[in-house]
Amino acid sequence: MTIVKTIEEVRAQVRAWRAQGLTVGLVPTMGYLHEGHQSLIARSVAENDRTVVSDFVNPIQFGPTEDLATYPRDIARDAALCEATGADLIFHPEADEMYAPDFCTYVDMDRLTGGLCGKTRPTHFRGVCTVVSKLFHIVQPDRAYFGQKDAQQLAVIRRMVRDLNMPLEIIGCPIVREADGLAKSSRNTYLNEAERQAALCLSRGLAKGKAAVEAGETDAAKVRAVIAGEIEAEPLSRIDYVELVDWNTLEPVDSTEGSILAAVAVYIGKTRLIDNFIIER
Ligand code: AMP
């Protein structure tokens, strides 16, 4: 496995693989890898001849008051995890390799990006769509792997690929959790011991909401109240949103019939965590 920092090196490697008729999978990440990322890498390794992992904390998807400066980074640890999982190449550029000083071209989306995380992070998905488009152009993979952990991001990327006729397949992968239910996240490292315990209210609330739907509850407002009630009972929590939306349009729903995404964003202390479940019927 090799680590490269320039776009030209990625292109040269992928060209060499293509000349041999090999297929290529891409796993875009912001690094500080955990078993959630690892599950995406393992799936790509299983489904493609070669796997590229991008490891880049993308500045343009962070808002001015967000955690860009403190976002955890550890490329040596990431490299060991990628190597152990069978990845072939890590693309680890500096920000100035990806963005020229006079960079001014963005990929933006009218729908899907205004609600959920887009409400409090108005420039986030423009940053995500732009960097993911750039990565697709640089690597030109056959398949790219995204976690359902970031469900809105997965829906947005799928729509971008469809709308802009990008020639690759998007593979969504299930959420990987800690043994006690907390969704794995690089940001979990911000939590102190009390917050780590408190953070369980997200998965607990969602599990209760999912059980209500499975028991036949079709009123979305009631399911929402079950989830929010469990989270609000935790003193260290502050809800950003608890929403039930259509999994294809991300528009709010009144009924839980159809394919539904139940998504939450919750501050535990200063740390903002997200989690969700999808019921597809
Ligand atoms: P990030 O490094 O947070 O940008 O995440 C990179 C990719 O890993 C995204 O597609 C995420 O959805 C995915 N991912 C992050 N955490 C998890 C998890 N716990 N389970 C599955 N996928 C995850």
Residue that has been written with the tokens 């009123």 in this structure: 219
DSSP class per residue in 215-268: TT--BHHHHHHHHHHHHHTSTTEEEEEEEEEETTT--B-SB--SSEEEEEEEEE
CA–CA distance, 55 with 90 (Å, rounded to integer):
7
Output the tens digit of pLDDT for each of the chain's 281 residues: 999 999 999 999 999 999 999 999 999 999 999 999 999 999 999 999 999 999 999 999 999 999 999 999 999 999 999 999 999 999 999 999 999 999 999 999 999 999 999 999 999 999 999 999 999 999 999 999 999 999 999 999 999 999 999 999 999 999 999 999 999 999 999 999 999 999 999 999 999 999 999 999 999 999 999 999 999 999 999 999 999 999 999 999 999 999 999 999 999 999 999 999 999 87
Select which of 34, 37, 92, 124 is catalytic.
37
CA–CA distance, 188 with 184 (Å, rounded to integer):
7
Q: Is 127 in the pocket of ligand 1 (CB under 6 A)?
A: no
CA–CA distance, 5 with 89 (Å, rounded to integer):
11
pTM confidence score: 0.98
Question: What Å distances lie between residue 92 and 28, 53, 135, 142, 279, CA to CA?
Answer: 11, 9, 11, 20, 36
| Closest residue to atom 17 of ligand 1, CA basis | 36
Atom index in ligand 1 nearest the CA of residue 150 equals 12
Q: Is 149 in the pocket of ligand 1 (CB under 6 A)?
A: yes
C-alpha 102 to ligand 1 mean position (Å): 30
Q: Which of 185, 178, 194 is nearest to 236 (CA)?
A: 194
> For this structure, is 92 an active site residue?
no
